[in-house]
Amino acid sequence: MVFIFWFFVLDGLLLICMAQNVHHYSFFLRETNFTRLCTTKSMLTVNGSFPGPTIHVRRGDTAFINVHNEGKYGVTIHWHGVKQPRNPWSDGPENITQCPIQAGKNFTYEVIFSTEEGTLWWHAHSDWSRATVHGPIVILPPRGKTYPFPEPYAEPTIVLGSWFNGDVMELIEDALSTGGDPNISDAFTINGWPGNLYNCSSESIYTLNVTQGKTYLLRVVNAIMNEEMFFAIAQHNLTVVAQDAAYIKPVTTSYIMIAPGQTMDILLTANQSLSQYYMLSSPFFDSDAEFDNTTTSAILSYEGNYTAPTTPVNASQLPAIDDRIAAYNFSSRIRALATEEYPINVPQNITETQRLYVTISVNTIICSNSSCDGPDGNRLAASMNNVSFDIPTTDVLQAYYRNLSNVYTTDFPVRPPYYFNFSGDVGNNTLHPTVGTKVKVIDYGEPVEIVFQGTNVLTAENHPMHLHGFSFYNVGNGFGNYNETTDPSTYNLVDPPEVNTIGVPKTGWVAVRFFADNPGVWFMHCHLERHSSWGMDAVLIVKNGPTNETSMREPPPHMPSCS
């Protein structure tokens, strides 16, 4: 094995990489002042930047990230989409796989990359801290290999984010104590800047300078808290070549729809006349819940001698906010690349015991004297199979590893407790969920199918469901109620996209399949932050296999303590 020593500088920190496949990063979590929309506030960041620093690795590498918490409250970091084979210890969700890194303490995550290639991201996984604590992960092909498309001229990252004028941690605390809807964001951002379509448009705007004739690989991350987004660049086509760090058959489109948690690698050729063009992003939102309906902008600026227009050319192809057909038309085009070099591994046969049918709903919990701020004086909640997840105070992983009782129960329902017309007139059916810390235990190596069923309970909307520790194949989807007799025959088992986050259409369903070949404790939840906070979460525990190589690793020596 060849060892290469080199140095590079990232955000002012000198980092030393010792072997070619091991990387070391230091993250300093601290309060930093930022001004956006003419409002200055102190917010938690990593190394003082928003979005935070980019992690660069190659396929199969390992990164050690030492997180120093210099902030005021406990935080954890999650490496979204990194499968972390046998290593749930470094996965990060608070009180699921670890307790928070307390203020003044540090913890080193060992982030193990395996089959991921493309773009992922990292984010805080404690309450709503991910609003300001997140950044991209760029995973290049292994040394000596290249992309399944021509080498791009440059590879800019494009991070879509949410900006709140207030403090996000207070915001979610308030919402959970009153039982009402959390405040919506005040702006969306592209690489940290709202752009010039808001008040205070004199502030900076992200500008991507391009050379005419060159092709760029945009690495797009949706780090937004509560809205799925459309994104488009005026007069330019986008060719999507990867999603969630897995290659797809190229899709050329004038706009994309990207859900919170998802990442896309997109080729952009600067093939228009010398000018400045708007990059715009606004939500896709087709429910009657409250949301931020603003538009964030950035500029694609050609280099060269020309007089720039007073306003950039408009991206008029951006779909209307409630255009679910546009959203569906884009999403339904995604297919895995599925070649000999980039093979896929889709379970072809599933037995009855390996199938989960899971309803996902927004609900309410009865509040004494109807004194809460949710509908009818009740408390807003959310559930999977009518269980609203209760986050424990000792992490589930530790409880599992040490056989502690009274932390969780293993009775997560694999079927809805009641059948009704989920996507139609639901009446009062399961308006109020039960509350519990219920996990589903799965044998090592089993092929698993999960069908997520969106319901019309309280309010229907699109839910981006995310699973830690795996990526899964999206083998089917549809509108209305899933039919377990007829719908499986419509599945794509040939080239389904391999993703870690999948949008379940409003009052529709999505089927995913994967092999449970990663032992550990893995969180599964809606990536709309308010739904996750309300309990639209569950945990899968994949048991150890028969050998050491199929069993969870030992815990690192110093997991953050729980009290």
Q: Which residues bind ligand C2O (CB under 6 A)?
A: 78, 80, 93, 123, 125, 261, 466, 468, 523, 525, 527
247 binding partner (options ligand C2O, Cu ion, none; Cβ < 5 to 8 Å by kind): none
257 binding partner (options ligand C2O, Cu ion, none; Cβ < 5 to 8 Å by kind): none
Q: How many residues bind Cu ion (CB under 5 A)?
A: 4
Q: How far is the CB of 501 from Cu ion (least distance, A)?
A: 11
Q: How far is the CB of 123 from ligand C2O (least distance, A)?
A: 6
CA distances to 84, 200, 314, 316, 373 from 278, rounded to whole Å, are 38, 18, 6, 9, 40
CB nearer to ligand C2O: give 440 or 466: 466
By the 10 Å C-beta count (0-12 exposed, 13-18 middle, 19+ buried), 67 is classed as buried
Where are any strands of DSSP class E within 289-433? Answer: 296-302, 355-365, 379-384, 387-389
Q: Which of residues 99-138 bind Cu ion (CB under 5 A)?
A: none
CB nearer to ligand C2O: give 78 or 236: 78
Q: Which residue reads 């679910």 in tokens?
A: 324
CB nearer to Cu ion: give 335 or 432: 432
- Contact present, 533 and 128 (Cβ < 8 Å): yes
CA separation for the pair 61, 82 (Å, rounded): 11
CB nearer to ligand C2O: give 36 or 468: 468
438 binding partner (options Cu ion, ligand C2O, none; Cβ < 5 to 8 Å by kind): none
CA separation for the pair 500, 365 (Å, rounded): 30
Residue with smallest beta-carbon separation from ligand C2O:
80
CB nearer to ligand C2O: give 216 or 514: 514
> Considering the rule CB under 5 A, would residue 531 count as an interface residue with Cu ion?
yes
Assign 112 to helix, strand or coil: strand
Q: Which of residues 471-530 bind Cu ion (CB under 5 A)?
A: 526, 528
Question: Which string of x and - marks every residue 431-470 that binds Cu ion (by CB under 5 A)?
Answer: --------------------------------x-------
Helix (H) or strand (E) holding 240: strand 238-243
93 binding partner (options Cu ion, ligand C2O, none; Cβ < 5 to 8 Å by kind): ligand C2O
DSSP secondary structure letter of residue 98: B
DSSP secondary structure letter of residue 272: S
Q: Which of residues 190-249 bind Cu ion (CB under 5 A)?
A: none
- What percent of the chain is helix, strand and coil (3-state, nearest 5)? 10, 40, 50
Q: How far is the CB of 464 from Cu ion (least distance, A)?
A: 7
- Contact present, 302 and 274 (Cβ < 8 Å): yes
The candidate with the shortest Cα–Cα distance to 71, out of 109, 28, 34, is 28
CB nearer to ligand C2O: give 176 or 326: 176
CB nearer to ligand C2O: give 324 or 530: 530
Q: How far is the CB of 132 from ligand C2O (least distance, A)?
A: 15
DSSP of 123-153:
EE-STTGGGTSEEEEEEEPPTT---SSPPPS
Q: How far is the CB of 515 from ligand C2O (least distance, A)?
A: 21
CA separation for the pair 361, 386 (Å, rounded): 7
334 binding partner (options ligand C2O, Cu ion, none; Cβ < 5 to 8 Å by kind): none
36 binding partner (options ligand C2O, Cu ion, none; Cβ < 5 to 8 Å by kind): none
Residues that bind Cu ion in the complex, under the rule CB under 5 A: 463, 526, 528, 531
